[in-house]
Amino acid sequence: MIAPRNLCRRGWMAILIIACTTMAWTLFPLSARAQDLLSPVPSTQLGVPPELEDVGFKPMLNGQVPLNLEFRDESGAAVKLGDFFHGKPVILALVYYQCPLLCNQELEGLVGSLKMLTFDAGKEFNVVVVSFDPRETAAMASAKKQGILARYRRADPDAGWHFLTGQSSAIEPLATSVGFHYVWDTPSGMWAHASGILLLTPQGRISRYFYGIEYSPRDVRLGLIEASDNKIGTPIDQALLFCYHYDPASGKYGVLVQRMLRIGGLLTILGIGGIILLCVRRTRQIHHVGATRA
């Protein structure tokens, strides 16, 4: 059995460790070197040709996507962009189906992320993939869809995935509304474009951007919950959203240090109070035993 004096001493050591840890998080949330590593490198330092400098995403959070734009779905039927919302958030991917490199990786990354979620496409959200190449056909869209659904492997996924083609008169306004800039690169014979997905609210407003070709399932889940105005998800998800916030610059969710510090401070106070209460109770017990023996 641990003596009361040693118990209290260990308790105060624990309090000291908790306090020092909280202070470290307060004073050193992120080193200057880490900040430098997270900062984007200017395109001029990467040797990007002038004609390609505008290629990429220019985030337009909360911007409205024109839902009346007309496209063709994978069956060749005429549709409007707004047909795929139906009160659900939408994941939007701008690709071209004959892309030999980046677009395939982007869609593979999206499928890999969505397979990790308990949410189902067509139930909690929809996925809309739009080709920004006006030369592509519904047959190409259908072939790409079949390949993706073969990987997704969920019950009735066809209702939640939509692969569209269209004319420049619809593609360009859509790309402009989401800040997606791309150009034809004659030397390579391919489209130069960025890689990423967007999360849209059921009203067609831009909620989140996720960049690259791999997307954290946690980030996608939190993004879908926020885009749905918290109409999907669990209480645990709500707790995670309290501790994480979306960074538009990186396109990722990160720990909200201030809130974590508040939680850490509360736990510290509770820990101190608990240890003090335990020490007082043990001291009273000792005095009571001593008085009884006397």
Is 249 a domain residue?
no
Higher-confidence residue of 207 and 274: namely: 207
> Across 44-48, 49-53, 169-173, which has the greatest mean pLDDT?
169-173
Q: Which domain holds residue 70?
A: 49-232
Task: State residue 114's pLDDT score.
Answer: 96
Q: Is 130 helix (H, G, I), strand (E, B) or coil?
A: strand
User: Are 190 and 199 within 8 A, CB to CB?
Assistant: no
Is 256 a domain residue?
no
Angle between helices 102-115 and 138-152 (to 10 degrees): 40
Is 262 a domain residue?
no
Is 253 a domain residue?
no
**CATH number of the domain residue 226 falls in:** 3.40.30.10
What is the enclosing helix (H) or strand (E) of 109?
Answer: helix 102-115
Q: Find the range with the poorest average confidence among 95-109, 226-240, 263-277.
A: 263-277
User: In sequence order, which residues have a C-beta less than 8 Å from that of residue 276 and are 6 or more positions away?
Assistant: none
Q: Is 282 helix (H, G, I), strand (E, B) or coil?
A: helix
Is 133 a domain residue?
yes
Is 114 a domain residue?
yes
Is 246 a domain residue?
no
Return the DSSP state at 97. Answer: T
Higher-confidence residue of 288 and 240: namely: 240
Residue range 154-178, pLDDT digits in tens: 877 788 999 999 999 999 999 999 9
Is 225 a domain residue?
yes
User: Are 61 and 177 within 8 A, CB to CB?
Assistant: no
CA distance 256 to 228: 21
Higher-confidence residue of 131 and 12: namely: 131
How far CA 288 is from CA of 43, 50, 219, in Å, comes to 76, 84, 56
The tally of domains found in the chain comes to 1
The mean pLDDT value for 18-40 works out to: 42
The mean pLDDT value for 7-36 works out to: 46
Average per-residue pLDDT for the chain: 81
